[in-house]
Structure 1
Amino acid sequence: MSSLIREENMHSYIFDRLKKTIFNNSTGEVSKLSISESMVLSHLIENKGNEVTKSDLIAAGWPMRVVGPNSLTMAIKAIRQALSDKGEIIETLPGKGYMLHSGFIEDSLDEKIGDAPNVKDSATAEPTVSENNDPVARFYEGEEVKSIPHKKENVIHNKKTKLVLITLLFFIYALSFFVSFVFQSHQASLECITFDGKVVCSTSGHIGDTSGLEDGEYLYGHYNGEAEASFKKVE
């Protein structure tokens, strides 16, 4: 339902909540409000004649958002400009909040507001959001208001990154342990013998069995100090 706002000199203003406009019956001028300004004015109308704190108005005009007191000040300024109000309609309560005087308001339906000419933008601009919903800085009449979207997604991403790093470190540690184990095992099983005046080394467990060499058994290995430690015994 639209709300009719009258001043003492009988100048009337029609507030359309759906279209977010204020129509001046005296001049035929239509003032366009932003979403936040419209919600602030709606909350004042719903509590007409009563004190409304600044925190309540901020919560009504910017739900689930973090804004500074200056945003509310600029919204009230824009509403007053649309109502040609110098404080008689919306009274400032210093240190507390604002009050919309009940003597200026009554509820009314008016279809002609849809055809009203001379639409003008309000003094404050509505915050914008990037199309890809990435975190952006929102600006509200010269004041930067930082949004905090995707906080949960960022936390999840950080957890995944930590998990990948932990897994990588564990893999490096396991690989180092395996290489060290193989090297130590190789060193422990390496055996050497002297054959024909030459030192032959191998990891073979049968290197000590030199019986039968005179019958045609030969030891094949490598000389001490070479890179590989391989050993074969062939008849």
Structure 2
Amino acid sequence: MGDEQEDGRIQEDAKEDSEAEVEPERLQYKVILLGDGTVGKTSIATRFAQGDFSQMYKQTIGLDFFVKRILLPGDVQVTMQIWDIGGQSIGSKMMSKYIFGAHAVIMCYDITNYDSFQDLDDWYRLVVKTFEKGVMPYVAMVGNKCDLSHMRAVRTTSAHQFADDNNMYTFFMSAKSGDQVDACFHRIAGHLSGIALSRPQLDAAGGVLSASIVNYRRHDEEVHGGELPDYTSRRPKTCTLS
């Protein structure tokens, strides 16, 4: 009888240890930022990944990388690798390699620049061509610089119509103020992970977060045919974003 009780305690202790050792689920997604130069792609990526905004414009040549890790409900850790592609690269032979393997594509325009909105048609056709033999990624359209709404040149109805015609999700944000930037990326991460986020959870995304920052690389370094480098196993560097 004593042996049976001892065996029961051992099994129960082993079960508790096993449950304690269960690690959170880790996911990793490649997210592409596309759009004309000066629409604010780098500012969006910097705001999301580093919680920062620079008043100085610096053209992106080739592409830059930004990485941030976020925590979703259910203790799901998601690594978002942001590929910031220069606006002049639309005719580049490397473009298909940049886009290939993307889980999500964010097409950006400047709400004060109507031409940048019209050019989204060319960017979208490029995405469709890249994935014509595969599964289309999650595609979102972002209207940036909403802090300049008094200078708006693109009607929201036009943006919604374009998005509806091409089965896209629509977001409006300001990289300068940070308004809706985190909410946008959290919604995308939730969609890719199969986790529905409530409005309060999205609103909370703009609060203080523990984020992992990985220094980005410039000019096509570590681009292996569009493959996604594995950052999930690296020890995070923690900072506080507000």
When the two structures are superposed, what TM-score results if normalisation uses the length of structure 2? 0.22
- Quick check: which has more Rg, 1 or 2? 1
The TM-score normalised by the length of structure 1 is 0.22
Which one has more relative contact order, counting CA pairs under 8 Å at least 6 apart?
2
